[in-house]
Amino acid sequence: MLLLKKSSLLLAVMLVHLKVHILARILSSTEPVTLSQAVNAIGAFFCNDISWTDGCAHWTNLVSNRCYTLDAEHQDQVSSFGPDSGNACRLYDDYHCSSGNSIYIVYPGSGDLRTLYYDPAQTDTVNDNVNSFLCV
């Protein structure tokens, strides 16, 4: 009986912590998030090397059509990128999804961004040339 009470108390503490964490994320957002955006949150998986290796990250709970700037570890380093199942993302070479080159990539993405070009007439590939993205 005592073990059951301790387990219930631990669960209650964990739930309170989770609610505080969620509330903090909502309050720190610079843009309002609607219920439909929260329900349809998506994610993207990317790595600093080809074949989904080295320095990988999976960003989840992304809001559709919101720009995300890569962290310093991934800026101008990403060689593999894939949106979560059923989603697509636009990759940008600039930091704010606003100007410069961009390319649309759909699930499952590409394990080798050396094969993709922002502009087929150019010789520069998308590889090691991504700084921000937005997904839908």
The full set of domain ranges for the chain reads: 1-30, 37-135
CA quadruple 120, 124, 125, 127: dihedral, nearest 10: -170
pTM of the predicted structure, to 2 decimals: 0.70
Give the E-state strand segments of 38-87 in sequence order. 42-47, 57-62, 68-69, 80-83
Nearest to 126 by CA among 67, 76, 51: 76
Q: How far apart are the first and last CA of the chain?
A: 49
- Predicted pLDDT of residue 70: 97
Domain 37-135 coded CATH 2.60.20.10: yes
pLDDT single digits (tens) 89-129: 999 999 999 878 999 999 999 999 999 999 888 888 999 99
